[in-house]
A and B are shown apart, each in its own frame.
Chain A
């Protein structure tokens, strides 16, 4: 099966700085890579996703990059704000959709005002 590794496990940045979270996956057949944000005690929320036919996707302050050759993908948050503080999970799917997702171990991001 797929194995997804996520780094770092914790990340602290000053407000306004950028944050980068990286994930690697093991199965080259994986073709869908979503990112979820989970605030304490709440449900994970999909914030951005990317498919294997695209190298980069951006949505306002959030961007995701995918390197299929190296089998890694990254989440980039620019101009961080305190409300960005949460746990972020990456995931990879073999099926092109959300039916067979394998999650990373999560990154706790803290944005210091």
Chain B
């Protein structure tokens, strides 16, 4: 199946700093990528939909200025958590939907555990 790579897998940062998370589709072109946040023992909460070459679409309640999303190419989307605070600590997961033969399936990255001290 298709592979989605997400880095870093774990990051610990000080309050007030910014953290960038990368999501790459390794063997297919992803016209659309999604970013989720997952709290312990809870479901996936969609944060935003990222379309290549255009602005991301954010879900209600998600601060676009705090969670910056860039989808500059068909294989890479980045999520930057700006001025991170302890309440931003969470598990962030990306997923990708491909063009062509992969466009009907959703493939997930391995997730990033963010801890803000």
Interface residues of A (CB under 8 A from B): 32, 34, 36, 41-46, 49, 89, 96-99, 101, 103-106, 108
Contact = CB atoms under 8 A, between A and B. Distances in A.
A93 B117 CA distance: 37
Contact of B42 (A42, A49, A97, A105): A105
Contacts, number: 51
Interface of B: 1, 4, 6, 32, 41-44, 46, 91, 93, 95, 97, 103-111, 113
9 contacts: A46-B107, A96-B104, A97-B103, A97-B104, A98-B105, A98-B106, A103-B44, A103-B46, A106-B43
Given A98-B97, A99-B97, A42 B106 contact: no
A109 to B, nearest CB: 13
A44 B103 contact: no
A83 to B, nearest CB: 19
Nearest to B104: A97
B14 to A, nearest CB: 23
Given A36-B108, A105-B42, A106-B42, 9 more contacts: A43-B6, A46-B106, A96-B104, A98-B95, A98-B104, A101-B106, A103-B44, A104-B43, A106-B43
A65 B97 CA distance: 24
Q: Which 10 A-B pairs have the closest CB atoms?
A: A98-B106, A97-B104, A43-B108, A105-B43, A43-B110, A98-B97, A106-B43, A44-B108, A103-B44, A103-B43
B44 A41 contact: no
A38 to B, nearest CB: 8
A42 B111 CA distance: 7
A45 B93 CA distance: 12
B110 A46 contact: no
A22 to B, nearest CB: 15
A99 B32 CA distance: 7
